[in-house]
C-alpha cells in the first residue's frame, strides 16, 4: 500500500494542490522578505552599507525581495520539474555551506524545500521525500555546526543561547508531521481523483445504458411496424397467384419479383434489428459486397428500370469499402426510381488496390433542388465519410450524378 502511494504519474494537478501551492508561496515569500540575511560576497563587495559600515534596512529589504522573487516559483516549478525546483530551493544553502560564519542558515530555504516537497508529491512523491530529507539534513548540519539561523521578521536563532537537543527534537517532530501531512494530502487527492473517475465512468455507463435502451426500443418499433408491413407485402405477393386465378403470366412474374424483393428486404431488416437489439460490437450477418452490385442491378432491371453497368465488380476490396459502395449504388437507384421513373441509369465502378470509385448518373426532367438533403443521401455520405472517402452529389445540366471515392484500406 505504501509503495502504491509513492507511485509516480502524470495526471493533471487537482485544485487542492493549486490552493496548497498558493499558501506555500505566501509563507515562503514572507520568510525571505522579512528575514535579515546577507550573503558573504555582498559584504565583501560592500553592497548596501552606509557610512558606518552597517548594512541599511533598504538594502536588506531589497535582498529579501530579490530572494523571494527567485525562490517562490520553486514550489510551482515542482509540479513539472521537481529536480530543478529542488536545485533552485537549495541555491541559498550553497552560500551558507561555503562560509557558514558569514552566511547563516536561512529559514526560508527550509520552508521552500518543504513547499517543494508538498507540491512535487502529487506527481513525483519520491522526489518530494528527497526535498524534505534535504531540508532536515540542513537542520542537522546547522545543529552540529552551532551557527546561527536567519528567521522571519528580522529574528535570529543563535544556538549558543539555546539547547541544540531540544531544538533538534522540535524540528524532528515538525518534519515527521510534515511528511505525514504530505502523504495524507496526496492520498486524499488521489482518492478524490479516483472518485471523480468513478463518477465519470458511472455517467458513461448510464449514458450507454440509455443508448442500449433506445436501440432496443427502435428495434421493437421497426419490428412491429416496418417488418410487419413488409412481411404482409411478401405474403400478399406470394399468395396472389392462388387467390387471383385470372392473373396473366406477366402479372404473376411481377408479383413473384415483388415477393422476392420483399423477402430480401426482410432479411436485411432482420440483420439491422439484430444489431440494434444487442449492445457493443454485435456479430453481424454477412453484408453486401462489391460483387453483389451485379445482383442489385439485375433485380432493378426486372422491376422495369433500364440500368447500364460498367466496371469490374470482382476486384479485391475490403468488406467495409465494398459494403459502402453497394449502399451508394442502392440509394442512387432508389432516388432515380423515385425522382426520374423510366429514365435510364448509368453505373460506372472502378476498383483498384486502394480505391473504389462509383459514379451513378441519370437524366432528370426538372432541376434538382436541395442536393444531399434527403435522409438516404445523408446516410450515404456518412458511410463514405466514415471510411475517409469523398461523396459528391451534383446536377450537371439535365443529369443528376452521384460520385463516391472510397478507400479500400489496401496499400497505396
Backbone angles phi, psi at 309, to 5 degrees: -115, 130
pTM of the model: 0.54
pLDDT band at 175 (very low <50, low <70, confident <90, very high): very high
SS3 223: helix
Q: What is the pLDDT of residues 271-291, one digit of tens each?
A: 777 666 654 444 455 678 888
How much is the pLDDT for 38?
Answer: 77
How much is the pLDDT for 368?
Answer: 55
Residues forming beta bridges with residue 395, ordered by sequence position: 400
Sheet holding 148-150, edge to edge: 105-106, 148-150, 156-158
How much is the pLDDT for 147?
Answer: 81
Please compute the mean of the pLDDT values over residues 404-408 and round it to a whole number. 88
Please give the grid coordinates belonging to residue 115. 513547499
Distances (CA, A) of 409 to 53, 288, 318, 387: 83, 18, 7, 9
Distances (CA, A) of 381 to 239, 280, 364, 408: 39, 24, 21, 16
**pLDDT tops 90 at residue 120:** yes
| Domain range annotation of the chain | 2-162, 206-276, 290-407
Tell me which range, 196-200, 274-278, 396-400, is most confidently predicted by mean pLDDT.
196-200
CATH architecture for segment(s) 290-407: 2-Layer Sandwich (3.30)
How much is the pLDDT for 56?
Answer: 56
**pLDDT tops 50 at residue 412:** no
In angstroms, the CA 275 to CA 188 distance is 44
How much is the pLDDT for 49?
Answer: 45
Please compute the mean of the pLDDT values over residues 351-359 and round it to a whole number. 87
**pLDDT tops 90 at residue 107:** yes
Q: What is the pLDDT of residues 2-34, one digit of tens each?
A: 676 778 888 899 999 999 999 999 999 999 998
Please compute the mean of the pLDDT values over residues 306-319 and round it to a whole number. 84
Name, in order, each residue with C-beta under 8 angstroms of 204's C-beta and a sequence gap of 6 or more: none
Is 63 within 8 Å of 42 (Cβ atoms)? Answer: yes
In angstroms, the CA 381 to CA 359 distance is 14
How much is the pLDDT for 374?
Answer: 56
Tell me which range, 132-136, 232-236, 361-365, 391-395, is most confidently predicted by mean pLDDT.
132-136
Q: What is the pLDDT of residues 123-137, one digit of tens each?
A: 999 999 999 999 999
Amino acid at each position: 500500500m505504501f509503495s502504491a502511494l509513492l507511485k509516480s504519474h502524470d495526471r493533471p494537478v487537482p485544485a487542492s494542490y493549486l490552493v496548497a501551492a498558493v499558501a506555500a508561496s505566501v509563507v515562503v515569500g514572507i520568510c525571505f522578505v522579512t528575514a535579515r540575511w546577507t550573503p558573504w560576497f555582498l559584504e565583501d563587495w560592500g553592497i548596501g552599507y552606509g557610512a558606518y559600515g552597517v548594512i541599511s534596512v533598504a538594502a536588506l529589504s531589497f535582498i529579501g525581495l530579490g530572494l523571494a522573487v527567485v525562490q517562490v516559483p520553486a514550489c510551482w516549478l515542482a509540479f513539472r520539474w521537481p529536480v530543478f525546483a529542488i536545485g533552485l530551493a537549495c541555491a541559498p544553502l550553497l552560500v551558507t555551506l561555503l562560509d557558514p560564519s558569514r552566511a547563516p542558515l536561512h529559514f526560508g530555504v527550509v520552508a521552500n524545500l518543504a513547499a517543494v516537497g508538498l507540491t512535487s508529491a502529487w506527481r513525483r512523491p519520491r522526489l518530494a521525500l528527497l526535498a524534505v530529507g534535504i531540508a532536515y539534513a540542513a537542520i542537522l548540519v546547522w545543529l552540529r555546526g552551532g551557527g546561527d539561523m536567519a528567521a522571519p521578521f528580522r529574528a535570529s536563532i543563535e544556538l549558543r543561547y539555546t539547547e541544540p537537543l531540544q531544538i533538534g527534537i522540535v524540528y524532528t517532530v515538525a518534519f515527521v508531521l510534515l511528511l505525514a501531512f504530505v502523504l495524507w494530502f496526496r492520498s486524499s487527492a488521489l482518492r478524490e481523483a479516483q472518485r471523480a473517475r468513478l463518477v465519470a465512468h458511472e455517467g458513461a455507463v448510464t449514458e450507454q445504458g440509455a443508448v442500449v435502451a433506445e436501440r432496443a426500443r427502435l428495434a421493437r418499433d421497426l419490428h412491429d411496424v416496418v417488418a410487419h408491413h413488409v412481411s404482409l407485402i411478401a405474403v400478399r405477393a406470394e399468395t396472389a397467384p392462388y387467390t387471383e386465378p385470372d392473373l396473366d403470366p406477366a402479372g404473376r412474374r411481377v408479383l413473384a419479383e415483388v415477393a422476392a424483393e420483399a423477402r430480401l428486404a426482410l432479411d436485411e431488416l432482420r440483420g439491422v434489428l439484430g444489431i440494434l437489439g444487442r449492445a457493443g460490437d454485435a456479430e453481424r450477418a454477412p453484408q453486401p459486397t462489391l460483387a453483389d452490385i451485379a445482383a442489385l442491378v439485375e433485380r432493378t432491371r426486372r422491376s422495369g428500370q433500364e440500368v447500364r453497368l460498367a466496371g469490374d465488380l470482382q476486384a479485391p476490396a475490403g468488406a467495409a469499402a465494398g459494403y459502402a459502395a453497394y449502399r451508394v449504388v442502392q440509394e442512387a437507384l432508389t432516388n432515380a426510381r423515385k425522382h426520374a421513373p423510366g429514365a435510364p441509369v448509368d453505373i460506372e465502378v472502378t476498383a483498384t488496390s486502394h480505391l473504389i470509385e462509383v459514379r451513378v448518373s441519370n437524366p432528370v426532367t426538372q432541376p434538382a433542388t436541395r442536393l444531399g438533403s434527403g435522409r438516404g443521401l445523408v446516410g450515404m455520405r456518412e458511410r463514405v465519410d466514415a471510411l475517409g472517402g469523398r461523396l459528391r452529389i451534383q446536377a450537371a445540366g439535365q443529369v443528376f450524378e452521384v460520385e463516391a471515392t472510397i478507400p479500400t484500406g489496401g496499400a497505396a
